[in-house]
Structure formats: C-alpha cells, structure tokens
Amino acid sequence: MDRSTVIRGRRVLICAEDGPLLASERDIGDFLGAAWAEDADMVVIPVARLSNDFFKLSTRLAGEVAQKFVNYRMQLAIIGDISRWSAESAALRDFVREANQGQALWFLDDMNALEQAMLRAK
C-alpha cells in the first residue's frame, strides 16, 4: 500500500513495491493523482513498479514520465537497483547521471540515499 510521510519537511508519497506498473504515458496520471490526494510534492517509485520499457530510452517512456512530472512541478525519485539496465545502455547511464545532478528526477539506491539527496538539495 502506498503511504504518505514527511521527509526533511516535505510531504512525500512512497509507492509500495507491489501495485500497478508505470508502463505507459497513461499510467503517469495515476501516480500524480495519488500524490495530489496526499498533498505530496514528491513521489518515490520503487524500480519494481516500472516496466522494462521505462529503462529502454528508445521507448521514450522515461522522458515522457520525467517531462510530465516537471510540468506538474512534482519531484520524482526512482528507488532501487537499476544496474541490470544501465550495464546495457550508455545512454541510460548518461540520462541517470544528468537527472541526478538536477532536482526534478533522481535515481537512488534506497531511502537513505533519498534522505541524503534531499539534505544536499536544500
């Protein structure tokens, strides 16, 4: 079950490991809607909730997700091990590195890394 919590003074929606996948652009609204219902300004999605297509940049799903979250001023953190996908794609590694340098989208190993990133971002 998804849950809302406060981390570093911000309301964060933490999506459960199990649940519907973010597999297409149509699914983005479900995650944003859940965040708005909790008055959150950040969504944390575990890797288990993302389809494989998210990590294939040629599908453009990751870019669509990132753009939609930016458009609605909602920060997104992807939590979990993405090494199996990034080992196969230099483009994905570059995308992740660039995203992690900004504020809109982060790829992090775990919740501890999220808290540290939020602390650095202040």
Tokens 């008055």 correspond to what residue?
39
What SS3 state is found at 40?
Answer: coil
Task: Give the span between the Cα atoms of 102 and 15, in whole angstroms.
Answer: 22
Concatenating the DSSP letter of every residue in 75-104 gives EEEEES--HHHHTT-HHHHHHHHHHHHSSS
Average pLDDT over residues 35-53: 97
What confidence score (pLDDT) does residue 121 get?
87
Q: What local confidence, expressed as pLDDT, does residue 116 receive?
A: 94
DSSP class of residue 122 equals -
For residue 122, the model assigns a pLDDT of 72
Q: In the chain, pLDDT over 90 holds for what percent of residues?
A: 98
The pTM of the whole model exceeds 0.85: yes
